[in-house]
Structure 1
Amino acid sequence: MNFLLPLTGSFAQPAAENPTVAMIEAAYRHHGLDWRYINVEVSPDDLADAVRGARAMGWRGFNCSIPHKVAVIDHLDGLGKSAEIIGAVNTIVRDGDRLIGENTDGRGFVAALKTVVDPAGKSVVLFGAGGAARAVAVEMALAGATRITVVNRSAERGRVVVDLLNGRTDTQASYTSWEGTFVVPSGSDIVIHATSVGLYPDVDAMPDIDTDSLTPEMVVADGIHNPPLTRLIQAAKDRGCKTVDGLGMLVQQGVIGMKYWTGVDVDPHVMRQALLDLEL
């Protein structure tokens, strides 16, 4: 039996309530895999020991969340392409005797988005410049997005993402200040919300976006998975837009991670149903 260890930060939910544990364990059962995915809290001071333990026990891989996504890099043997550009890791994969860091945050988002629209050649408006937004921006660029406009209240953080995209990818990135209610420019193909506004328990919060500027030709995606039907997603649906919710992103992250670890192409519908059963 193989174990996969998720290294979490200061907060660790019980397995019965942890969405990632629930969906991955459901996929193991569905595919008859004799594997387990367990949730363990690891303090920053113990991170090095935890990674050494994973090596010593031959674990096939693990996830890590905030605050370990950057610090864990010092304890790994290499990085995947997007993880190296992003500068953060959330998925570690054993390759022989080596531990390789990958980042599935943005890749999961793009995989979910591709069920509705191919980012290649598209113009993107991205709200946010934090870790999740950075990962999404890089993966959208690598997927062929022609233009990415980063909208953020902090100009410094926004321009860091823009400089990264212009320096390391082929996309044309620009920064726009998020002051007051933002009007989405006409001609935008994909609108992505990648901030924490609307995340449980603040479910009534709405990002300061002029939803009247959304048109049916736009695809609107929200990275919030709890609740999956955010106020932004509902408003976009009301405007006739195609939408992608954060639940799809979370599922696709799991699909990608399990492929790395087990080599199995797991059924995303099984994982999504496991999340819906939690009534997120």
Structure 2
Amino acid sequence: MAEVNYRHELVGAFGDPIDENPTGIMMEAAFEALNLPWRYQLLHVVEEALPDAVRGVRALGFQGFNCTIPHKVAVMRHLDDIAPDARLIGAVNTVRREGNAFIGENTDGKGFLRGIREDAGLDPAGKRIVVLGAGGASRAVTVELALAGAAELIVVNRTVQRGQQLAQHLNDKTDTTARFRPWSETLVIPNDVDVLVNATSIGLYPDVDAMPDVDLSHARDDMLVCDAIPNPPETPLIKTAAARGLPTLNGLSMLVYQGVTAFKMWTGQDPPEDVMKSALQQAFGL
């Protein structure tokens, strides 16, 4: 008689907010495509509940979880170990189980880098890049861009101390040249910038009409505009850039590519990328 097992392996995501996060759509589609008895759960975890949430999923036998706003940095002190690249970044977006230990990883930056190379067709080596924000997503994106050979990274942030710390971290730990610029008024993007990246939460659902306070009127015609926000994919920033004829890269690219890496970490199996992309495109009517 065949062994009977009705249990599912569990993974998920911690966040606040979390309801609008589309990661589960592509993960569930991938599990179904490979006939894996796994489930992906969106878990609403407020900042003060994070320690209890980590203890809870550990006790429940979760195989890992993702972290989004506002937990990518704070979660690190609740884990058993941090992968070297995630430690360099200073943020964790993916946690995997290794035996009884939770190991922090960062797949965000690698996902973004793959998207900018494969989907946008741009090599960041030697480029001058402006990155909006200095949180967990920005740390991942800027570190990976620096390691990929970006010539100059300009970190733009409203909180001065946080932005200065990230720029200094990039200068100390990588070979790039990083500068901080305070974001106290409309940011005019000059014509010597090759790439603009929004790594803030401005424009994230439900604030779908919000746009970073930037002026693209002086941007070079071939400047690439990237938005790390996956929901909605077509943010006001992406729409504005496209209307000006600028090349764009939306947040679904980073979401899928970081997700395929996390999937392999958790399950040990090669993810069905086409299925994951198709599930998200269908969900957003693209």
TM bracket, shorter-chain basis: 0.7 to 0.9
| Pick aligned residue for 2:275 from 254, 270, 275 | 270
Partner of 2:81: 78
The answer to whether the 8 A contact 1:125-1:148 is kept is yes
Question: How far apart, CA to CA, are the structure 1 residues paired with 2:16 and 2:203?
Answer: 22
Partner of 2:212: 207
The answer to whether the 8 A contact 2:13-2:41 is kept is no
Partner of 1:195: 200
Cα shift at 1:217: 1.9
What TM-score do you get using the length of structure 1 for normalisation? 0.87
Q: Output aligned runs, 1:1-280, within 5 Å.
A: 3-9=9-15, 11=17, 13=19, 18-41=21-44, 43-53=49-59, 57=61, 59-115=62-118, 116=120, 117-279=122-284
User: For structure 1, which segment, 103-112 or 254-263, has the greater mean C-alpha deviation from structure 2 after superposition?
Assistant: 103-112
Specify the SS of the correspondent of 1:39.
strand
Question: What's the % identity of the aligned pairs?
Answer: 49
Specify the SS of the correspondent of 1:276.
helix
- Which runs of 5 or more residues in structure 2 are unaligned? 1-6
Deviations 1:192-238 (A, max 9, x none): 11122222222222222112122222111011222111122122223
Specify the SS of the correspondent of 1:5.
strand
Counterparts in 2 of 1:6 and 1:234: CA distance versus 1, 3 Å: same
Question: How far apart, CA to CA, are the structure 1 residues paired with 2:21 and 2:188?
Answer: 36
Counterparts in 2 of 1:41 and 1:182: CA distance versus 1, 3 Å: closer
Deviations 1:117-158 (A, max 9, x none): 122222111111222222211221122212101122332221
Cα shift at 1:48: 4.8
Question: How far apart, CA to CA, are the structure 2 residues paired with 1:38 and 1:158?
Answer: 33
Report how many aligned residue pairs link the two structures.
Answer: 274
The answer to whether the 8 A contact 1:107-1:139 is kept is yes
RMSD (Å) for aligned C-alpha atoms: 2.4
What TM-score do you get using the length of structure 2 for normalisation? 0.85
Cα shift at 1:96: 4.4
Question: How far apart, CA to CA, are the structure 2 residues paired with 1:204 and 1:11?
Answer: 17
